Amino acid sequence: MPRPITRRHALRIGSSGFLAGLSLPTLFQLQATAANGTEPKAKSCIFLFLQGGPSTIDMWDMKPDAAAEIRGPYKPIKTNVPGTVVGEHCHRTAKVADKFTILRSHSHNDNGHTTGSHYLLTGYRPNFADGANSKVPVNELYPSIGSVVSKELGGRGGVPPYMNLPHPLTAGGPGFYGAEHAPFVIESDPVQPDFEVKDLTPDSRLSAARTDRRQRALAALEQGAAPVGRAGTMATYYDKARDLIASPAARKAFDLSAEPEKTRAAYGYSSLGQCSLLARRLTEAGCRFVGVDHGSWDTHFSCFPSLEKDLIPHADMAFSALITDLHDRGLLDSTLVVMMGEMGRTPRINDRAGRDHWSQAQSVLFAGGGIKPGQVIGATDKHGSAPVADPVSVEDILRTVFHLMGIDGDKSYLTPLGRPVPVVNGGKLIKGLI
């Protein structure tokens, strides 16, 4: 008995133009265009996740007139956009401020790391207390932003549609969308001199014929009953892995050594820098959503040495190089770049020279993908503690990202128990960004 064509099979067939030359991703894109009324510009999104909560008051929302314990030790510097200033350690980004927009009025009220990450990356509040869920990913029900993109847009090349670098995002899982929309995770740090993605190269001891025989044997085993439950999940992962190993495009995309030394150096030899460069290569190869996990931003104590020596320079180099590189390659319009954390930090420096969790105010950087660059949207009060007006919520950010990528945020899917879950739980487009 012939096996029914699964959606994933159809995707593969579709990518070869089997369906009257109209691939499924193209179909999805047309559907999305119809939903928005305009053709979306962002074909991909690179999401630089500054895990732990970046101190944006020391970077993008300076308060030079506030008291020393609030303004901190850093001076504001001018950018190439008249009237816009950033922190002194963001001098590279300052030179390309005309290519991105700072949103200073993002605000929510979840001060937890795992709960805040869950909220930000899924748009839904978690059903666990912060720290009470040590699983990765923590989002067992609600799909992450990357999984939504994967489901709605599918792949557009030989690489997976959704990837996490170098580790899984805390709340980057597929939720009830299932393993098919889980991120591909490289579990290797691209800054490592011998960086390679494990097992991407076919085993030289296995000939093509032998590999084929093994696949046919597996198919024969599965013929009796399609695997379900965990076995089904694993079968999905096997399929994904097999597709990836067979993909020369994937191998090429992961080959960071193909980049000129000058380019690699511009991104910075840091985990964030090299992950950002790899993200550019992956989106070039067709990846729809790359989530870069960059930790250590939870700077409760003695924050300034690590901010000025490690964290801010790494982020400054990576972000500025990424948008410059994308711009120079003509890819910035079609690639949306977002840089943010799950929360901001307290405006007042604590008694151990650090800043604590503060979700009431955070600055977010947007670049490319059809946004209007060179702006500052929103403002916080004199202490940087809250937006002065029109706070931008998590839902607003997600709705805007999906809109830019041509995804209908109002679309709903039923959970296995039959409950409809909209792609975005409310929210509105960020005023002035598009």
Partner 1 sequence: MRLATLLLLASACAAFAQAPLPPGKDGYAYPPGGAAGTTVEVRLGGTDWTPDTRFVVHDPRVKLTVTSKPGPVRMHEPPYWFGIQSYANDPWLPREVTATFAIPKDMPPGPVRWSVANANGGGPGGVFVVGTGPEVMEEENRREPQALPPLPVTVNGRLGRIEEVDRYTFQIAKAGPVTCELTARQLGGDFHGVIEIRDAAGQLLADVADTEGRDPVLTFAAEKDRTYTICVRDIDHRGYRNFTYRLALRAGPRVVTAVPAAGKRGETRAVEFVGVGIATGQAKLETVTKEVAFPNDPARDSFAYTLETPFGTAQPFPLLLDDETDGKFALPGAVTGRIAVRGERIRHTFTGKKGEAWEFAVHDRRIGSPLDVTLSVVGPDGKPVLGTDDTTGHADVRLPFTVPADGEYKLALADGSGRHPALDSVYRLVATKPRPDFQLRTTGIVNVPVGGKAALTVTVVREGGFQEPITLAFTGLPAGVTAPKELVIPAAANTFPVSLECAKDAPASASLVTITGVAKVGQAMVTRAVFGDLKTDLAPRTPDANRTPRVLIATTMKPPFKVTAAEADGGRRIPRGSTHLTPILIERTDGFAGEIVLDMSAAQQRHRQGIRGPALPVPSGVAKIDYPVFLPEWLETTRTSRIGLTAMAQVKDAKGTPRWVQAAMVGQITMSIEGALMKVSHDADELTAVAGEPFDLPLRLARSPKFAEAVIVELIAPDELKGVVTAKTLQLPPDTSDAALTVETKADKRLTGTRTLTVRATGKRDGQLVVSETTVEVEFVGKPNR
- State which residue, 118 or 314, has the beta carbon closest to partner 1: 314
Residue closer to partner 1, measured from CB, 195 or 237 = 195
Q: Is 314 in the site for partner 1 (CB under 8 A)?
A: yes
Q: Tell me the closest approach of the beta carbon of residue 29 to partner 1, in angstroms.
A: 35
SS3 105: strand
Listed in sequence order, the residues at least 6 apart from 231 whose beta carbon sits closer than 8 Å to its beta carbon are: none
| Beta carbons of 70 and 183 less than 8 angstroms apart | no
CA geometry: angle 353, 359, 365, nearest 5 deg? 95
Q: In the range 3-62, which residues lie near partner 1 by CB under 8 A?
A: none
Q: Is 130 in the site for partner 1 (CB under 8 A)?
A: no
Tell whether residue 191 is a contact of partner 1 (CB under 8 A): yes
Tell me if 383 contacts partner 1 by CB under 8 A: no
End-to-end CA distance of the chain: 52
Q: Which of 1, 20, 68, 208 binds partner 1 (CB under 8 A)?
A: 68
* 255 CA to centre of own chain: 20
Residue whose tokens read 């990576």 = 318
Q: Which of 189, 239, 243, 255 lies at the binding interface for partner 1 (CB under 8 A)?
A: 189
Between CA 292 and CA 276 the distance in angstroms is: 7
> Residue 413, exposed/middle/buried by CB under 10 A (0-12, 13-18, 19+)?
middle
Smaller CB distance to partner 1: residue 101 or 276? 276
Main-chain phi, psi angles of 223, to 5 degrees: -65, -35
Binding mask 70-109 for partner 1 (x = CB under 8 A): --xx------------------------------------
Tracing tokens 């989002």 back to the chain, one arrives at 139
When the beta carbons of 127 and 302 are compared against partner 1, the nearer one is 302
Give the DSSP per-residue string, 373-390: -S-EE--B-TTSSSBSSS
Looking up tokens 């200073």, which residue turns up?
104
Among the listed residues 199, 212, 310, 410, the single contact to partner 1 using CB under 8 A: 310
What part of residues 248-287 is at the interface with partner 1 (CB under 8 A)? 261, 264-265, 269-271, 274
304 binds partner 1 (CB under 8 A): yes
Instruction: Using CB under 8 A, list all residues that contact partner 1.
Output: 68-69, 72-73, 134, 166-167, 189-195, 261, 264-265, 269-271, 274, 295-296, 298-306, 309-311, 314, 349, 351-354
